[in-house]
Amino acid sequence: MHVNAKTDIYGIIGHPIGHSLSPFIHNAAFESVNLNSVYVSFDVHEENLKDAILGIKALGIKGINVTVPHKENVMKYLDYISDEAKLIGAVNTIKNNNGILEGYNTDVTGFTESLKEHDIVVEGKNAVILGAGGAARAVAVGLSLTGVKSIMIANRSKEKARNLSNYIKNNLGINCIDVTYDDLNQLEEIDILVNVTSVGMFPDINLSPVDESIAVKAKFVYDIIYNPEKTQLLSYAEKHSIRNLNGFDMLINQANHSFKIWTGMNFNKNIILNTLKKKDFVK
């Protein structure tokens, strides 16, 4: 990669951000299609979010991905928000369209495509989502659009869980209720258990959002965390021979959709996967 005065700049904002694989994915993608572009990480604290977004325009940055904890708060600083991002209530992709900042969300498609790729049947199933933030809404919307029977939203903040469950019921017509983590002890089984919190993410790799006693009730466990490759929650699932999936495929799929929003092109997923394998991010 040769960076010069004509190089277009893309990136990702979040906090913390050191764990992100997005720079490796997008830089490999730009190189694979011969685009003079570079993708970098920006560690942005919540109190600096507005200035960071204004900086996109001032610096002429072409596109930005948005990760925790900014996916929801960033919306108020954008000029345009797509219908899917409005439905989800969160933005993970920003395109600088000649000074107009456009917000999109590629998490839903990234999530649902990863389920299809692994032949995970959602229709008619009961799901439990751990967490109630922007990623939780994307996952809940994705499950709803693919025919899930019911959803439980478990979160430490009861109010946040209730707001999300009411939103899903009212906007998508799915039977959705809010519960506490303690309430999960009363369940006999869980068809689909999805963690959308950051609990267990690097560097806190020995933590799990729920105890092993909850994980063992699941028939399928999905943790959208991808670093580490195997979280403590997924280790519980594997220990009990429960089918499980990390967030890597969701990451690749949503990244591809972001890439298309910015460039009008898809990248070759196999090239990206091989690049990450060479760098030892994927075993």
**Is 142 labelled as part of a ligand binding site?**
no
Residue 4 dihedral angles phi and psi, to the nearest 5°: -140, -170
Question: Which of 63, 83, 26, 30 is closest to 251 using CA atoms?
Answer: 26
The β-bridge relationship of strands 220-223 and 192-195 is: parallel
- The answer to whether the CB of 165 falls within 8 A of the CB of 141 is no
Does the annotation place 79 within a ligand binding site? no
Does 231 appear as a known binding residue? Answer: no
Query: 92: annotated binding-site residue?
Result: yes
The verdict on whether residue 18 carries a ligand-binding annotation is: no
107 is in an annotated binding site: yes
Q: Give the whole-angstrom CA distance, residue 132 versus residue 130.
A: 7
Provide long-range contacts, Cβ within 8 A and 24+ apart, for 272-277.
Answer: 272/25, 272/28, 272/29, 272/32, 275/24, 275/25, 275/28, 276/21, 276/24, 276/25, 276/28
Taking the C-alpha atoms of residue 256 and residue 249, their distance in angstroms, rounded to an integer, is 11
**Is 134 assigned to a binding site?**
yes
Encode burial over 30-42: b for 16+ CB neighbours within 10 A, e otherwise: beeeebebbbebb
The reply to whether 99 sits in an annotated binding site is no
Of 202, 262, 281, 246, whose CA–CA distance to 21 is shortest?
281
Q: Is 22 known to sit in a ligand binding site?
A: yes
Question: Among the options 6, 57, 71, 260, which is catalytic?
Answer: 71
Strand ranges inside 57-211, DSSP E = 63-66, 80-81, 93-97, 100-104, 126-130, 150-154, 175-179, 192-195
Is residue 76 annotated as part of the catalytic site, yes or no? no
Hey, what amino acid is at 173?
G
DSSP strands (E only) in 53-116:
63-66, 80-81, 93-97, 100-104
132 is in an annotated binding site: yes
Q: Is 135 part of any known ligand binding site?
A: yes
11 is in an annotated binding site: no
Cis bond leading into 16, ω under 30°? Answer: yes
Give, rounded to a whole angstrom, the gap between the first and last alpha carbons of the chain. Answer: 25
Q: Annotated binding site for NADP(+): which residue ranges?
A: 83, 131-135, 224, 247
- State the catalytic residues: 71
Q: Annotated binding site: which residue ranges?
A: 20-22, 67, 83, 92, 107, 131-135, 224, 226, 247, 254
